[in-house]
Every structure is written in structure tokens, then in C-alpha cells.
Amino acid sequence: MKKLECLMIFSTLLLKCAFADVYLHNLRGSNNRWNENGRNRNNANRMFDSQNNARGGYNVGSLYYYVGSKLQLEWTNQHSCYNENNHCDIVLQYMCGPQVRDGTSTSTIPSNPAQCENLDCNEDRRYGMHEDFYHYQNCRLRKRNGGLYTASENVREYASSTRQNQKANRYGYECAEERDYYPNWHPSPWKDIAILTNDVSRCAMYQNESQNVKERYACKVDPAFLYQYSNKNPPDNKYIPITEAECNTFVYEVNGESKLGEWTRYPAHGIAAPNCVESQYSRDNHLGNTVGGQTINYNWTIPDSVNEHCTLRIRYNITTGDYDRDNTTSIHNNRRARDGPGPDLWTQFGLTSDVGLNRGYKLKDNPQVDIFNNEKFKLQLAITTEQYGRTFQDRSHTFAIRPRPPSISSDAQIVNVNVRGKRGNIVQVYPAVEYDFVPNTAVVQKDGYVHYQWTGSDNNPGNNDGQGRASTDRSNVVMIKSAVYTEGSPSTYKTGTYGQLGSSYPSHLTNASLGGLIAEDMKALSILRDHLGGDMDELNDAGTYFDLGPRKVTQSGNYNYMCTRNNNFSNRSQKGKLVVTDAAFANEYIGALGGSVSVPNTGGGTSTEVVAPPGALTQGQLIGLSETTQSDITVVVHAPNSDYVSDFVKLEPEGKISSDSAMLTLKIKLNGDLPSLYVPEVYMSADGTNTWNKLALDEHQSGYVSFRTDSGGHYVVSKSVDAGPMAGLILGVIVGVLLLVGIIVLLKKNRNILASYKNKV
């Protein structure tokens, strides 16, 4: 029981403020769409409660991903994250199972088995389904958590009714209480990927309470009971209890037979705790990019959960700062006249409770507040308590997780490249987006793998702008023609650039190169495959789905490409870049809690690594670390000592990264041990082309050096003669020589004495 009470308190932390949608773009978020051709989805209740605009979402289309590959998730959220305007949490989860499916219609799966084939809704493939029939029925027949804050809303006594959904409206087989509150106390099929939050001080709680690592307890009943009462309330409205004591005395009937509830342990999912980092910055009233012009994203490593039927969920929780979210529970409910005043809204304005309540500082629908202490002038606020603190959601269409082919080792890098967006101009597709490659710039180490794969729809609105046959999505990858003029500064690294992003004409296939892919692959990317002739100048007779499969990249360079169909200059741009690097590299999103990035080291021994202690970073950043051999770099200006004993290391982003109070620690691997009379020196250059500055070392051990820095840039280690031991050695040699000379002189002066000794002998 203590465990349950603890979770009740935690779950008040994510009371959900205002109108703020969230839309998945990669993976393709459905927003409850299936394959309808209207601008609006047909059925908001089809699979889940999104609370999003009806125009959001993409039509059905499935992809697959290999275990351990990298997938960039992208989304937009309408209201702010990581600023002072509200408390924001993004929760990313996935689930897999043999019954997870998209379905073949826009209809909601029935709750009455009599309306399903063979009286089994779980197996009726006409309907889309994520959570299953018994998940929902258990929710509908189970008591809700009475410790939750429900404000002035009239919430019913079962778990399918919440402050946001008082009438218990059904959305597929989703459980409203599980949807609205995280971490949840009841067993769930969802596995946690990551939490992105404004307040990382709560990360430990999120990670410790995740079902990934923590078991759950619930009152188990016979599934036949759930089936029997699938379309009606339980006898005498006795709902399944949520405490151990009540469960052990809960008596119910199945086909006339009395049974007793079983308080049951449900094991944790048995996977790592979710990652928890700062949210990426976004502003209010804006479904767009974050700082730097990039879409809000999270790089997900596909887990070892092999299954052909998976889906991904994103939930966007925003909470008002008007009251103490961490300590607002059911004791603050104020629906009835005999209830208390609700959460404390007055103290922060220096008012007593009596004065504050008299002036309208009470959380209720559309309050009129006397901000000037003048009864004649009040302002009405647009507030409804069911939305003052709110959760929004989107889910992907199904995708598959597959084991790697035998030819690809478990430690080989695989980067997925997909296409996001749908046909139409920016106004017609909103709040979806126009076409782009994801990631827009894909970075792969040489001898790693890139996996080009995308899908689309033939059923977009018929009057949406675009090239080719109306209503259809099509994409391809064609190298852009070579540069006609020089751009930018010379690169520090010996990496060629192929194709000019500022151009809109393709390169001929015989001249094109993309990471060393063979001609047949280049042709497949350009004109697609699995078709025989037809209308292909705008890819009309190609299919919506394309899969090149994972391909090894063997030639380093920066490769710029485009889609010939959708790259319409001044209207829309679909261009991308593949960077194949000789450098070993790694990156991680690190925030105030700290973290580390290590460069993969296939040769064994110490790895080059950067460590950010807690507090070093004041906000979340993508920290990158790469290691390039001397033969693969063009040194424009050498360090004062160019007797290099390490590879060149690049720490990104360039410029100041950490705070002054807690600096980063950078450990650089040396290319072998130094001779005994030499010491290491470390040098840093801001951009690798200008002056180098010597830095102080903190540690030198066999095989590596470490030091502190607050900035990104280029680093290298040189060796120099150690003055102390060398001076001692020289002095020793001098003393030895002088001693030898003295002995010789002494011997010459005393020949007679030596001769007499010889005669005696």
C-alpha cells in the first residue's frame, strides 16, 4: 500500500495548461488518421485521445528498423518547452506485440465483442489496435486513483474517467488514467524511451519509478469477468480495487461462480531506465523549429525488441505555474460547496487567503479577478480547470524492429534516413510539414551503414500543390551537380564535397558518387525500382514505399543530394546531405545532470572521452567528439610544437560550452607510450585553422592525458623533452666525464707508484 500511495503523489506532478498540440513527423504520426483523403481526420476516437487539431497527422505507412540502428525522432509542439512560461515534459515510449496493428478502416474498434468477428475484438484485423480489449475493460471496471487532483470537475469513480475526460469517452482501447498521468501506478504495455523535462531535478524520480526498472502491483481478476461486463457496469457498481487490502476482500462472480481478487506482482520490463535530459527550447504559439533552425528531435537507438508490430507514442505534458504542482492533490479539489478553496493562488501575490479569495484568486472556470482591489473593475480569465494542466499525444503508425542481417556485425553503425512530410504547400499541410529528409544531414563513419527508406500515401487531398500525379507522395535521391564556384573556407579535413546545395540540377548518374555506393544502388535511389517503364519522369508509376536496405559507405566525403520531384525552387526544398567521415566519432545530448561521450575504440585500451560533471552545462546540448588521424587532416597552422603524439580531436559545438564553475574534462588517447625523457603538451585551436594555445595538463598516465576545458574546438597532444630529467642527465654526464678525466690525470702522475706495486706483485 505504501508503494501505491507514493505513486499517487508522484503522479500529481504531471497535471497537464492551455491549448498545445504535439505532432510526430518522424516516425510518421497518425493523429488518429488511417488513409482518408480529407484535410481533417475522420475519427478522433479511432485509436487514442490526442486532443490535437483534426488536420494533423499522416496517412498510414509502415517502415522497419534494425536493432541498434540510429533513428532520429522529430516532432513539433505548439507551446513552449524549456522556458519560464510553463512546466513542460515530453515522454517518449514504444510498445510491441503480435496484435498491435493499424487496421484497414477509420472506425473505432468496438467495446462489445458481439460486434467483432468470432466475438474476439483483439483478433478482428479490420480495426486498428494498440492497447488490447482487456487493458481497456480493466480500466473501465477499475476504481480510479482517488488521490489525484481533479479541481472543480465532476470525475466519475472509475479509471476511464479523469479531469480531462470526465465523461469517460472511449478512444480505442486506451485507458484515460494511464494516458493522463506519468509515472503510472498500474501495469502498462508501454516501455519508456526518454523523458525531456524543464526540471531535471525530477529525473531521478522518473527513472526510479519507470516500469522499465520497477515492478507494479494490481488486483488481478479473471479475464472472463472483464469480458462478461464489457458493455455494462459491474454488479452493485463494485469496481476492481487498487489497494492490496481491498483486493484481498474483493468478491466477484463469473458465470455464477464467486471468485476472489488476487493482489498480483507484475515484473518490470527488465530494460534500462529511460534517458532523462532537458527539453529542447521551443516558444509559445509555434509549431516550428528549435534554436539553430533544426526540428525538435531525439536520437533513438532501436532496442533489441524484435517484433513486426510496434508503435511509438509521444506525450506532451504542460503544467501551469500558478500553483504548487508537486503538492496539489485531492485535498485541493473544490467542486462542491463544502470543499476547500482549492490550490493556493494568492500567497505569491502577497495576499492572505481571505483577501485573495474575495478578489477572485480561486482556480475555477472563467474566474473574474480583481487585480486592482477595486470592486468595479475585474478581468475575466479564459480558464477551464479540465485543461489547466494538460496532456497531448500523438502515436506513430506501426513499424517493425528486425534483427541485423548476418553480414552486419552487432557493433557496426547503421544510420536510418527517412522522408518526412506530405504533399502540399506549407499552408495546405499544416500542422503537418512539407517534405524533407530525416536526418537532413546524416553523419556516418566510413565502413558504417546508411539505410535509405521511406513511405508515403496516394490519398492526400486532391487539390494540394505538388508535382506529379495529384494526391500522391513520391521521393527519390539524386546527387546534385558539382559546384560552379567555390563556397566557404577551406576545410581542415581532407574530405571532398560532392554536389552544391545551392544548385537545383542533378548530376549525371555516370558522374555521381554517394559514399562509394555501387552504380546499381545509385540507380535505384534515383529512379526507384520494382516497376517496368511507365510514367516515371515525375515518379508517378513508382510506389509510395522504397527501401534500399542498409548499405556500407566506403568513401569519405560530404555528399549533397535532392529529390527531383519535390525540389521546387522558391516553393519547397527537399535536399539532404550524407557526411561520411574518416574520423571515429560519437555524440550525446547532455544537460545539467552531466554525462560523457566516448569515441569508439576498436583497438582496445583507453578511449578518447569528454566528461561533463553535474552543473557544467546550464542547458541541454548535443556534445560531439571525433578523432582524426594526422594523415586525414590538413593542418593550416601548426601548433608551436608539431611533434604530435595523438590524433586530432574535435569537441563540438565550437566555442564556449560549459560554465566557469564546472569545466569539462577531456581525456585524449596517445599513440603509444612516451619515451622516458619526454612529456606531453596539449594544444587547442578554436577552429583548427588559426593559432594554437597551450593548455595545462591535469593528468598523464600510460596511454592518455587529461585536462579541463570550457570550450569546443580542435585539440592535439605533442611531446617535448622533459627539462628536469634531461638537465639531470646532462649534469650526470658532465660529472662522470670530469671524474674520468681526474682519474686519468691522477694515474699519469703516479706511474712510479703503480710500477712498484707491479714489481711486488
Q: What are the pLDDT digits (tens) for 195-214?
A: 999 999 999 999 999 999 99
Q: Which residues contact 731 (CB under 8 A, 6 or more apart)?
A: none
Q: Among positive and negative, which fits the CA dihedral 137, 258, 250, 186?
A: negative
What per-residue confidence (pLDDT) applies to 723?
A: 63
In this prediction, residue 510 carries a pLDDT of 87
Amino acid 530 reads D
Residues in contact with 40: Cβ distance below 8 Å, sequence separation at least 6, in sequence order: 54, 55
Contact 665, 708 (CB under 8 A): yes
What is the CATH superfamily name and number for domain 404-582?
Answer: Cupredoxins -  blue copper proteins (2.60.40.420)
> What was the pLDDT predicted at 291?
86
Shortest CA distance to 509 belongs to which of 448, 564, 549, 548?
A: 564
Q: Which helix (H) or strand (E) holds 749?
A: helix 723-749
Torsion angle of C-alpha atoms 299, 300, 301, 305, degrees rounded to 10:
-170
**Predicted pLDDT of residue 623:** 96
Which amino acid is present at 577? K
Instruction: Give the span between the Cα atoms of 486 and 669, in whole angstroms.
Output: 36
Of all residues in the chain, the percent with pLDDT exceeding 70 is 93
Contact present, 671 and 605 (Cβ < 8 Å): no
> What pLDDT is attached to residue 331?
93
Question: % helix / strand / coil in the chain, to the nearest 5?
Answer: 15, 30, 55
How is domain 584-721 classified at the architecture level of CATH?
Sandwich (2.60)
Q: For the chain, which ranges sit under pLDDT 70?
A: 1-20, 488-494, 530-533, 723-733, 735, 747, 750-761
DSSP three-state, residue 277: strand
pLDDT at 590: 94
The whole-angstrom separation of Cα 60 and Cα 114 is: 27
Taking Cα atoms as reference points, which of 534, 524, 668 lies closest to residue 598?
668
Query: CB neighbours (10 Å) of residue 655?
Result: 11
Predicted confidence at residue 724, as pLDDT, reads 62
Task: At 14, list the grid cell.
Answer: 504531471
Tell me how far CA of residue 252 lies from CA of 146, 231, 244, 597, in angstroms.
Answer: 22, 17, 16, 55
